[in-house]
Structure 1
Amino acid sequence: MHRYLFILYANILAFWLPSLVQSFDFSRNFTPSTYPLAVRSPYLNTWIDATGANGTVLSHDWPKHWDLGQAMGWCGMARIDGTVWQWLGPPTPDSNSTINIPGARSSTLTPTRTIFELVAGPVLLNISFFNPIETEDLTRQSIPFMYLSLDAQSLDDQEHDVQIYSDISAEWVTGDRVNFTVQWNTTFTSSTVFHRSYLQNPQSMEEVKNQAQDATVYYAMELGQGISWKTGYANITRPLFQDQGRLDNETDTSFRVVNDQLPVFGFAVDLGILKSTASSLTWGLGVVRDPIVRYAASPGGTQDQRPYFYSDPRFSSQQIDDVIDFFMQDYESGLQRAESLDNRILQDVLSISGGNEEYFSLVAMGARLVLAGFDITYSIKEGATDIKAFMKNTGIGSESNNALGLYASLPAFVYLNATWMSYLLDSSMQFQNLLASQDNYAASTNLGNYPNATGGKIQGSAVEDTSSMLITVAAHARISKDTKIISKYYDLLKTWTKYLLERSWPPINQMTLDRKGTTKDDYTTVGLKGIIGISAMARISAALGFSNDSEIYLSNATSFIQDWQTKTVKSDHITMEFKDEESFALLYDLYADTLLGTNLVDQTVYETHESFCQSSLSSKKYPFGIPVSSYISETKSMWSMFTAATLKNNQTRDNLIHSMFARATFNQSSQRNFPLIYDSASGLSQPAEGANPQQGGMFALLALGASRAIDTKTTGSPTSGPSKSQTKAGKIVGIVIGSVGTLALIMTATFFFWRRKNLLAQKHLAVIPNVFQAEPLGDEEVERGERPRLSRSHFAKGTNHSSTSPSSSPEQPQLETTQLRNDLINLRREMEEMRAQGYYETMPPPQYIAD
């Protein structure tokens, strides 16, 4: 009887769940000080400052390059029943038409999209800036293009005459707007039309004001009825559309510098008379450099690394025309993949964080920042494709693949695709290997400033940097199950570990980035990280079968950590310098111990540190986070999230996450696009600091969930209990058992609601890691694993029109409703897995298993 009752409930819920999941909407509570618009590579990294926008984010100022210093002309207008509305960029003069500014209804930020709903008189405009994250296709991920799309829908149920315009300016081509001549042309293929702009005399591998001097910029549309185009002076091209609703298909051949009658490259589309657009109107924007990086691949020699997408047989012609055609035709399927990824990340975030929507917003921003600094390249080596990836330390020093940056961004790559980290590590360690004869520790950065990865070692904090590399390598191998990197560089890793054995505890003559410029012998945090680095090497050795090495490293790490705990742990805090008992430190590197599953640090240390964090947050002295040490007032967002991931008390964890969210939405003054380092009390940051890929650390909780799932999958449950099928069935029965007594579906929902509200004793849940079979370096791609996907969201098409202004605080969605949906999403996943594996046929009598 119980078995059949369960099956009845399961089938009712299976029928009901799809509509519930389909209706799930992303939070609109996130109103950052700057919004990411085009963020696909270090030189396609454009944002818009929302400070002082008063509800007109897209129209109050021009988009700007990541440092917010250089305007990037990007214009959007709509002509509706003859009335002109400016939906992107400020109005351009010299027109006979009055230009109106649409009101903002809402803004939404997901890992792949920034979406604005604007009210332009009788028509609602849905504007989406879509930057794909292609976790399962390296070629697509390496294409440095993004989509801008527009949908229109009548608000009064009447038909309207609609024309749409958009252009980009020559400002995208160069940071020097006075001395370099820009050239352009317009090209038609069988399916697309695009404007191409570039310098007449490009400077290879050079920057001016953080913009590349060797880039070609493309603005594209698919061919269709009603398209017109023009290149020319902004004050002629834009007013032409405003007055006539179309362009004249003319090319301005007077090539010139940017500041001489600003050249723009525009498209207009006459949509005709309509109530709503049948499909999205879409532009493609790309900034292409070929080659991308100059790399020191061998002693005394360099090689130029090309964009990876050119290695794909689909682009064997080596013509950008084919790439643009492919990209534009891929929009609809790409949007489906993006919506699936966004939903999957949302699902995992809500599971791992107990429904914390603020955490999802930070993850969404972190995804944009980490991948905006990431380039995938290739060269031909011995007849095979040699893949290398590079990451620019944007906003701090511009170094390529610096050790701290790899460590801080590790959680994002662990979660999205661990193989991508192997390409970063290989680039860095191949050159580090050349330096091993000079030094026995890892350099802070060894490749030099991006895009010239030709050397230029910077000696930083030797123990910290060496430990960063060992931890990153070990975590990558552990979660990807790929031993290529640790096998290839095992001798180098041993050399580094020897240095840690000699210098990490006590940390003799060491520096730390948490107290710049001061060398000490008693930095607690340096010692801890070094000891965890040694422990990481024990894991690496064990993975390769070098048991003797592993035992030696583990024995030393265990001995060191015991002495470390004796010297540094006080009753209510851990010292920054163990000789100064009043000093304190934020122990964010406990995250590495947890991520690697080494369990090296005693639980009492975690408890003492958590109590310290709770006390610091409760004091209200630091609204933007806990200072990294007692010697400075600065906090660092990636280390705050590392710390949050180690906290067991959900309230303390959420309070720390909220402090980061408070800084990300700090709109009182223009203080960068979620800076990495800022004052914990005032929120102020350095003027040039922002848009850094180290914000990949926002994935820390998700990566930890992936690591725990790997442990569970590998080792099974630590205690005896029901079989896999019994456990899955038991959990589902545990959810639905409370509604026995009625078959009404609404009562089932009520039970979920009541259970969440009254039994909110949450615990961290293991997320299903996005782990792919590693790609062999230099070989064909191998088949990758699949993760369960959610249903496609309807929101990106703009069918959900709640009235919410991004300049004000939207109505808070109810936490209980979010939790209910999250439970049902997970329940549906469990049911689908059970159905696929035949659990219904072998299911034992139901039992209640508390979670």
Structure 2
Amino acid sequence: MRTVIRPPAVPLVTVDPYFSVWSMADRLSDDFTRHWTGKRNAMTGLILIDGAPWRFAGCVEPNAENYYTEPKPMTQTEFQLTPLTSTYWFEESGIRLKVSFTTPLLMDELELLSRPASYVSFSVRSIDDKPHRVQIYYDVTGEWCVNSSDQRVVWRRDEVGGLVMLQMSHEEQDCLHRSGDDVRIDWGQFYLAVNNAADMQTYIDSADIRKQFVRNGQISPSDGMTMPQAVREHNVVMAFTWDCGEVRADEVSNVIVLAYDDVYAIEYFGEKLQAYWKKSGMSAFEMIAAAFAEFSGIMARCEAFDRQLRQDGIRAGGEKYAELLALAYRQAIAAHKLVTDRDGKLLFMSKECFSNGCIATVDVSYPSIPLFLLYNPELVKGMMRPIFQYAQSEAWPFEFAPHDVGQYPLANGQVYSGNAREGQMPVEECGNMLVMAAAVCLAEKRADFAKENWELLSGWADYLLEYGLDPENQLCTDDFAGHLARNANLSMKAIMGVASCSLLYGLMGHHAEAERYRMAAKEMAIKWEHMASERDHYKLAFGQEETWSLKYNLIWDIIFETGIFNERIAQQEVAWYLTKQNKYGVPLDSRETYTKADWLVWAATLASDQEQFARLIEPLWDALNETADRVPFTDWYDTKTARQMNFQHRSVVGGIFMKLLKEKRVR
């Protein structure tokens, strides 16, 4: 099956918030590849077919200052996007070339999930019944290991156990020395590794070697490359060539590994933590060697996972829904970093990409959890632990839940709103943490995780009992819309937070308390309906006539099967949304024409039949397919123009999996 959607950006190498490179073009040869921020992290792919040069990835000349005739691009004939692999097919002069990018983010094996190694696979064959002489060139630039291209890099080449490992790094190694949003890593080591074989040659040199390859397939390393070198000055690359020989109808294949050892990944309340894959002392060389040794088995598992998720997605929501899942999967995971605390407990740290760069943001974790509940609830616990630890400390002065624990990759305490009370999200974050706790404990069918943090959770539930039904003027997760008093959807979250407390009490065997909180939630829901009702739909805010909003928080009443709200609320809301739909989807509320992709899918999942669900989510597919903004899956866009509002590469696209979660159920 070939992909129908034209992704706004194609995931290529997607491991974590620093090691994440995409193609933001229709064809792999239309533009340089880029970091998710949009900064150039270039790769170039060239092929000689019977001595004639063609280009399949990036460009030969990185600067526009000097005229250079680029080799013609190969004809890109097909493209396929699956959850774990992006594959391009090219044809020219009787040769078919297949290039695949696979990051094996399989959540049932955390060592593999954390491993910062991504595969690039090449296959060629003749398609005209004639033999052809084929040579392939591929490189990656020093841009991958610096924040800005005026920084200088050093490099080395090692031969280890049948592999050649090229390595490049910023000359100044200062781990975790900066935090921020629109930044790239400039510490650690970047690797390109290949099999040590007679038909493979490797180079670390100026990008001028591309031109040498184009001219005659021969590369003579330059004599002037001394360390260190500014990336911009000589466009330093790590490259290999593969002499495929005379290619006939039988396919010949090869694979390389791109890897990144960040040395230290996260600073966690003053302690520098290494990535999860290092927990047993594995070195970067050993990690890369394992990636090669396990390649065949890993690819088989990836292909099986991709097939199953596609089948599940089609069954749950149709072909277009399945494609949305495929586009969201790698991004949702790669916006996190997996580490462990000093007690060996998982920490799954998100970066709030193109928002403010916060780390472990509660209202970023909350929309993402449908994906992780489906495939490994331990990762949801890993999202929540930093918040619990911070909230238990003397550094957190408030009676409600925090928003974040810092700015990526420094998790040393909340930075949002300068910790001013008026800038907090009290009802939002308390409700989020309670719903997340209930979801993960129901998935595991035990309440051990909640018991570990019960003083906080029960206190937050009581806060919602007192302040949640009719919220004061405050922010919610959609903080770009500003403060809003008496927010009906936020109230609904508070009610589901109280219902979540009831579920947790029930799992702990405290049935009287479970019933008390269940009845409290029911009473709140009855009052909610009276305050929010407006003829055939429900208001944006209590007391605001002729308004409306997506009531996405209601979905948990269906997922948890708690029956807190009257069933007709969901039915009326879905019918209303269908009347308010613009070309590219239903707006978030009556104030603006923008929407949030995650909340749109949650609201669509309220639908009781597949036709309604499809009608609500297909405009999202259209928006991604047609938008002029070539960025990783944005979750905030305009429903009339499909233009991105701001966000990109955020973990919240894990929320696209809500319909699949509904079909499989948490309970």
TM-score bracket for this pair, using the shorter chain length: over 0.9
After superposition, where does 1:4-403 map in structure 2 within 5 Å?
25=1, 27-50=2-25, 53=26, 57-68=27-38, 70-92=39-61, 99-178=71-150, 180-205=151-176, 206=178, 209-235=182-208, 237-248=209-220, 252-276=225-249, 278-296=251-269, 302-312=270-280, 316=281, 318-353=282-317, 356-381=318-343, 385-403=344-362
TM superposition shift of 1:500: 0.3
State the Cα deviation string for residues 642-669 of structure 1 (Å, max 9, x = none). 11111113222101111110111124x2
Distance 2:250 2:207 in 1: 28
Q: Is the Cα contact below 8 Å between 1:203 and 1:214 reproduced in 2?
A: yes
C-alpha deviations, 1:223-256, integer Å up to 9, x for none? 2231111111111x11232234244578843321
1:605 aligns with 2:569: yes
- CA distance in 2: counterparts of 1:307 and 1:247, whole angstroms: 37
Aligned to 1:693: 651
Q: Residues 22-64 of structure 1, C-alpha deviation per residue, up to 9 Å, x if partnerless?
A: xxx3x421111221111111011111122xx5xxx11121001
- Pair 244,509 (structure 1): closer, same or farther in 2 beyond 3 Å: same
Which AA in structure 2 matches 1:61? D
- After superposition, residues 497-516 of structure 1 pair within 5 angstroms as 497-514=461-478, 516=480
Matched, 1:455 2:418: no
Change (3 A) 1:365 1:380: same
Q: Distance in 1 between matches of 2:350 and 2:76?
A: 35
Which residue identity is paired with 1:304? K
Alignment of 1:563-602 (within 5 A): 563-602=527-566
Match of 1:526 in 2: 490
TM-score for both structures, normalised by structure 1: 0.74
Distance 2:483 2:111 in 1: 45
RMSD over aligned CA atoms reads 2.1
User: Match of 2:419?
Assistant: none
User: Counterpart amino acid of 1:168?
Assistant: V
CA apart distance, 1:359: 0.4
**Paired letter, 1:84:** P
Q: Say if 1:541 and 1:423 are closer, same or farther in 2 by CA, change over 3 A.
A: same
Given candidates 635, 641, 657, the residue that maps to 1:676 is 635
Instruction: Look up the match of 1:633.
Output: 593
CA separation in 2, counterparts of 1:476 and 1:587?
Answer: 22
8 Å Cα contact 1:507-1:522 kept in structure 2:
yes
1:545/1:388 Cα in 2 relative to 1: closer, same or farther (>3 Å)? same
After alignment, is 277-286 or 222-231 more displaced? Answer: 277-286
Whole-Å Cα distance in 2 between the matches of residues 575 and 185 of structure 1? 63
Which amino acid in the other structure matches residue 14 of structure 2? V
| Cα 1:65/1:437, change in 2 over 3 Å | closer
- The CA distance in 1 between the partners of 2:168 and 2:395, in whole Å, is 44
Corresponding letter in the other structure for 1:426 = R
Change (3 A) 1:657 1:435: farther
Q: Counterparts of 2:480 and 2:553 in 1: how far apart (Å)?
A: 18
Asked if the contact 2:363–2:477 (Cα under 8 Å) also holds between the matched residues in 1, the reply is no
Match of 2:611 in 1: 651
User: Structure 2 CA distance, aligned partners of 1:139 and 1:309?
Assistant: 5
8 Å CA contact 1:30–1:108 kept in 2: the answer is: no
Cα shift at 1:192: 1.1
TM-score by length of structure 2 reads 0.94
Deviates more, 1:129-138 or 1:165-174: 129-138
Give the AA of the match of 2:372.
Answer: F
Aligned to 2:510: 546
* Percentage of pairs with the same residue: 21
CA distance in 2 between counterparts of 1:519 and 1:80 reads 61
CA distance in 2, matches of 1:95, 1:270: 29
Distance 2:352 2:47 in 1: 38
Tell me, in whole angstroms, the C-alpha distance in 2 between the residues paired with 1:42 and 1:411: 20
Q: Distance in 2 between matches of 1:128 and 1:518?
A: 43
In the alignment, the residues of structure 2 paired with residue 260 and residue 491 of structure 1 have an alpha-carbon distance, to the nearest angstrom, of 57
Which of residues 374, 384, 398 is equivalent to 1:425?
384
Which is bigger in relative contact order (C-alpha 8 A, separation at least 6)?
1
**Cα distance change on mapping 1:201 and 1:515 into 2, 3 Å:** closer
* Kept after mapping to 2: 8 A contact 1:247/1:267: no
- Work out the CA distance in 2 between the residues paired with 1:145 and 1:482: 35
Distance 2:111 2:392 in 1: 28
Q: Contact 2:131–2:246 at 8 Å: present in 1 too?
A: yes
| Equivalent position SS for 1:194 | strand
Distance 1:629 1:307, change over 3 A: same
Provide, for residues 448-503 of structure 1, a one-character-per-residue CA deviation record: whole Å limited to 9, x for no partner: 11100111253532111211111111111111335332111011101111110110
> 1:95 and 1:285, CA in 2 relative to 1: closer, same or farther beyond 3 A?
farther
Deviation at 1:191, TM superposition (A): 2.1
1:810-821 maps to which residues of 2 (within 5 A)?
A: none
Find the aligned partners of 2:111 and 2:119 in 1 and give their Cα distance. Answer: 17
- Matched position secondary structure for 2:349: strand
Question: Residue deviations 1:43-87, cap 9 Å, x none?
Answer: 11111122xx5xxx111210011121x111211111111111111
1:505 to partner: Cα distance: 1.1
For residues 36 and 516 of structure 1, the distance between their equivalents in structure 2, rounded to whole angstroms, comes to: 27
Instruction: Tell me the secondary structure at the aligned position of residue 274 of structure 2.
Output: strand
Tell me how far apart the structure 2 counterparts of residues 67 and 332 of structure 1 sit (CA, whole Å). Answer: 32
Gap runs ≥5 in structure 1: 1-24, 297-301, 712-851
User: 2:47 aligns to what SS in structure 1?
Assistant: strand
Structure 1 residues 389, 514: CA separation in 2 closer, same or farther (over 3 Å shift)?
Answer: closer
Residues in 2 aligned to 1:490 and 1:184: alpha-carbon distance in whole angstroms: 51
Alignment-mate amino acid for residue 194 of structure 2: M
Distance 1:609 1:380 in 2: 47
Please report how far the alpha carbon of residue 98 of structure 1 lies from its aligned counterpart in structure 2 after TM superposition. Answer: 7.2
1:508 Cα deviation (Å)?
Answer: 2.8
Summarize the Cα distance change of 1:278–1:329 in structure 2 as closer, same or farther, 3 Å threshold. Answer: farther
